[in-house]
Amino acid sequence: MSLEEKLAAIREMAKTRMPPKFRAIMQKGTDDLRASGIMGGVGKVGAAAPDFTLPNATGQPVSLAALRARGPVVLFFYRGRW
């Protein structure tokens, strides 16, 4: 099963568990965000990736420059799971 198929199953399950009022507000939040034009400002293919140095889970600084010196980097941005 692909990730999208799994996610679709979770979305279906959420529909039955979440009150319709909440779902409507969440959907509006997503739609408004999409309509806000934010996606136009997201880093583009072919552009330079802004360098950064951030602490890892144990507080050690990790830089993008150091990571990409070893090979390509797959960089995810997550809100965190609650």
Partner 1 sequence: MQQALPKITAAGASLVVVSPQVARTIRETEEPKPMTYKVLRDLGNRVVEQYGLVFTLPEALQAIYAKFGIDLPKGNGDGTWRLPVPARFVIDREGIIRAVDADPDYTRRPEPAETVDVLKRLSAPRCISFSCPGARRPAEPDDPLGARWPRGFGWRFPPGSQSDAAPERRQQSW
Cα(82)–Cα(71) distance, integer angstroms: 32
Q: What are the residues facing 55 on neighbouring strands?
A: 61
Cα(4)–Cα(10) distance, integer angstroms: 10
Q: Is 1 in the site for partner 1 (CB under 8 A)?
A: no
Quick one: 16 or 57, whose CB is closer to partner 1?
A: 57
Beta carbon of residue 64, minimum distance to partner 1 (angstroms, whole number):
7
Yes or no: say if 51 and 65 are a contact pair by the CB < 8 Å rule. Answer: yes
Residues contributing to the site for partner 1 (CB under 8 A) = 2-4, 7, 10-11, 14, 22, 25-26, 28-30, 32-34, 36, 38-39, 41-52, 54-59, 62, 64-65, 67-82
